[in-house]
Amino acid sequence: MTVTKILSALTILSSTFAFAQEAMPEEALDEVIITSSRIELPFSKNSRSINIITAEDIKASAATNVADLLQQVAGVDIRRRGTAGMQADLYIRGGSFDQTLLLIDGIKVEDSQTGHHTLNMALPIDVIERIEIISGPAARVFGQNAFTGAVNIVTKKQTADLLSVETQAGSFHTLNGAITGGVNLKDSNHLVHVSRNTSEGYRHNTDYDNQNYFLKSTFNKSKLPINVIASMSERKFGANGFYATPSATEQYEETQTSLIGVSTKIKKDSWIFKPQVYWRRNQDMYLYTRDQPTGYRNLHITNKVGTELNGSYTSDLGITGFGVDLSKTYIVSNNLGNHNRFMSSMFLEHQFKLLNDKLDITPGVAVTYFSDFKWHAFPGVDLGYEINSNFKVYGNIGYTYRIPTYTDLYYSDPTTLGNENLDPEEAIAEELGIKYNHQNFSASLALFNRDSKNLIDYTKANEDDLWEASNIRELNTKGLDAYLNYDFEIGANPQTINVSYTYINDEVQDVNADYSRYSINSLKHHIVGRYSSEFIKNVSQSIIYKYAERTAGDSYTVVDASVNYTLKTLEFSVIANNIFNEEYTEANLVPMPKGNLIFGLKYTFR
């Protein structure tokens, strides 16, 4: 990638600053409480790298699903196979899809079979209030799956009666329909969503049929609110070249993923308690040849049942956060066998405030017991110093960890073999950053480093041998994240410019094996820019620029755009993806679609 490309992109995106005529009223982003932490802090007070995708960002994103939405944050590498997020993998700061944790309203929804199923649980964007992205080692806060980061999807809090009906149609015979309803009663409120998304596919055997069901209810809201969440997503899709080799054009997959959770929040004097119980289930059926169901077929069913109690206590000495997490996972599989794992974790941290509350120091530790990998501890510390009301510098260091998935341990096919004797992956990571917030302008810069060992690779001694999983690789990952956001007005019309950039450098240690299949292909350079504007009343538009250059050397530029027209309770939208017909791939050499359009119509009854 040339320096000229980077500078040109940033110049185009930032030149609009010159048109700002009048500053908008200061946004309330600093008052957003990060709900994924035990010690609840406003967004601006955290001493970690956290980004928030707000409801306004979602509306201006030109995205119809969470996978496409997360792609618009530099440092978050979403590698899609096909369209509409039917199959996509989630990476943060160069880690693998097995090293990133997904949470729904603070509930950990990782899949013990494989991280390939992480985004099966991604919710429809119609029910999402915001998304919190925690970059860097988060095992001290969340446990072992947050090796390189975590994503917490926060669902909407229903406050008004409404009923919205939405339909979308577009390229590749895409047809989507959704109904979202809200009921606000005297002592309870309820949010319900049902949707179905279908397409004949943008090339042979890439059709899909996706159904989503979502319910969120709050009971006893005037006293002690009890929150109940239930979600189910069923996906059926042709997987042309998605797995195995690109020549495997007839693959097919069906997944069913569901979640049920109950939680509450108890406040008493200086104490806060947040108990929750949950059950997450995933079923995956894979056919190597779609029209031969009696041929090569895998069927995996995983369940996770858990309960968690988080809390905090505020005193003159600061805030103490604590938590206990108990869960058990099960897998029934014709390939991987039948297994289960019990996990128990204890979390403890304390935030000290010194120097007139300008300096915060938060040491903490998570201690976890795995029935198959015994005891492990994840210590770490966060530090932050407020130079003034606008500037804050921060740093953190932590030990992070990932136990092997059931696929790592037990998978078997004609060319690949798991390894029951694998050890957990380990790393120590450091970060140093600075944040600036002033009225409608915010910016941040973070430098990070991660030294990993015991990373799982697939190796063999001879060309004709099977690939076998082993702990053979060491890796140093260093880089930087930069983010900038500016809200302003042209006349009385609101405008937003958002630019983010991530640089990652991976240094792989020598591998003591004749053949190695593991390939580092991080986003070496990643630029994302969005300009959202309004020049005519009730008409808003956005343009999104994405540039990616991978470690392997390939690069691509994709531009998306959207226009929305709102007339009282009626909304009309046009979304254009890859408007310059870029030819590119993100995963397994699966070609992504060229330019395509989606037209949408939404009516809301109030």
pLDDT band at 606 (very low <50, low <70, confident <90, very high): confident
Alpha-carbon distance of 143 to 163, in angstroms, equals 39
| pLDDT > 90 in the chain, percent | 78
Higher pLDDT, 31 or 168: 168
For the cut 70, the answer to whether the pLDDT of residue 6 exceeds it is no
Alpha-carbon distance of 308 to 199, in angstroms, equals 39
Question: What one-letter code names the amino acid at 264?
Answer: T
Mean pLDDT of 83-91: 93
pLDDT for position 12: 40
Mean pLDDT of 265-284: 96
Alpha-carbon distance of 151 to 132, in angstroms, equals 6
pLDDT for position 40: 77
Q: Which of 40-44, 173-177, 400-404 has the lowest mean pLDDT?
A: 40-44
Nearest in space to 266 (alpha carbons), one of 237, 228, 225, 212? 225
For the cut 60, the answer to whether the pLDDT of residue 524 exceeds it is yes
Q: Which of 17-26, 88-97, 155-164, 215-224 has the lowest mean pLDDT?
A: 17-26
pLDDT for position 31: 62
Q: Which residues of 389-404 are buried (b: 16+ CB within 10 A; e: fewer)?
A: eeebebbbbbbbbbbb
For the cut 80, the answer to whether the pLDDT of residue 572 exceeds it is yes
pLDDT for position 315: 94
Mean pLDDT of 131-157: 90
pLDDT band at 404 (very low <50, low <70, confident <90, very high): very high
Mean pLDDT of 198-217: 97
Residue 328 burial class via C-beta count within 10 angstroms: exposed 0-12, middle 13-18, buried 19 and up: middle
Question: What one-letter code names the amino acid at 416?
Answer: T
For the cut 60, the answer to whether the pLDDT of residue 26 exceeds it is no
pLDDT for position 29: 47
For the cut 60, the answer to whether the pLDDT of residue 19 exceeds it is no
Look-up: residue for tokens 């003159």? 316
pLDDT for position 36: 62
Q: Global pTM?
A: 0.93
List, in sequence order, the alpha helices (H) in 309-451: 406-410
Q: For the chain, report the end-to-end CA distance as a whole number of angstroms.
A: 51
For the cut 70, the answer to whether the pLDDT of residue 243 exceeds it is yes
Nearest in space to 600 (alpha carbons), one of 558, 560, 566? 566
Mean pLDDT of 471-496: 94
For the cut 60, the answer to whether the pLDDT of residue 104 exceeds it is yes
Mean pLDDT of 112-120: 94
> If you average pLDDT over every residue of the chain, what do you get?
91
DSSP 595: S
pLDDT for position 415: 86
pLDDT for position 580: 97
For the cut 50, the answer to whether the pLDDT of residue 18 exceeds it is no
Q: Which residues of 425-442 are buried (b: 16+ CB within 10 A; e: fewer)?
A: bbbbbbbbbbbebeebbb
pLDDT band at 308 (very low <50, low <70, confident <90, very high): very high
pLDDT for position 35: 66
pLDDT for position 153: 96
Any residues with CB less than 8 A from the CB of 84 and at least 6 apart, and which?
64, 65, 174, 197, 199, 208, 210
Q: Do 132 and 151 contact (CB within 8 A), yes or no? A: yes
Question: What one-letter code names the amino acid at 96?
Answer: S
Residue-wise pLDDT tens digits, 368-384: 999 999 999 999 999 99
Mean pLDDT of 337-364: 95
Q: Which of 94-108, 164-178, 248-262 has the lowest mean pLDDT?
A: 94-108
Alpha-carbon distance of 430 to 350, in angstroms, equals 19
For the cut 60, the answer to whether the pLDDT of residue 2 exceeds it is no
pLDDT for position 47: 85
Residue-wise pLDDT tens digits, 287-305: 999 999 989 999 999 999 9
Alpha-carbon distance of 89 to 349, in angstroms, equals 31
For the cut 60, the answer to whether the pLDDT of residue 346 exceeds it is yes
Element (DSSP H or E) covering residue 597: strand 596-605
DSSP 242: S
pLDDT for position 7: 44
Cα–Cα distances (Å) from 562 to 14, 77, 534, 559, in that order, read: 19, 22, 12, 11
Alpha-carbon distance of 311 to 306, in angstroms, equals 17
For the cut 70, the answer to whether the pLDDT of residue 414 exceeds it is yes
Q: Which of 316-330, 358-372, 461-475 has the lowest mean pLDDT?
A: 461-475
For the cut 90, the answer to whether the pLDDT of residue 120 exceeds it is yes
Mean pLDDT of 28-41: 66
Nearest in space to 525 (alpha carbons), one of 94, 15, 58, 43? 94
Any residues with CB less than 8 A from the CB of 546 and at least 6 apart, and which?
71, 72, 527, 528, 557, 558, 559, 560
Alpha-carbon distance of 410 to 424, in angstroms, equals 15
pLDDT for position 383: 96
Look-up: residue for tokens 């390229």? 171
Element (DSSP H or E) covering residue 8: helix 3-14
pLDDT for position 1: 44
Residue-wise pLDDT tens digits, 510-523: 676 777 777 688 99
pLDDT for position 424: 95
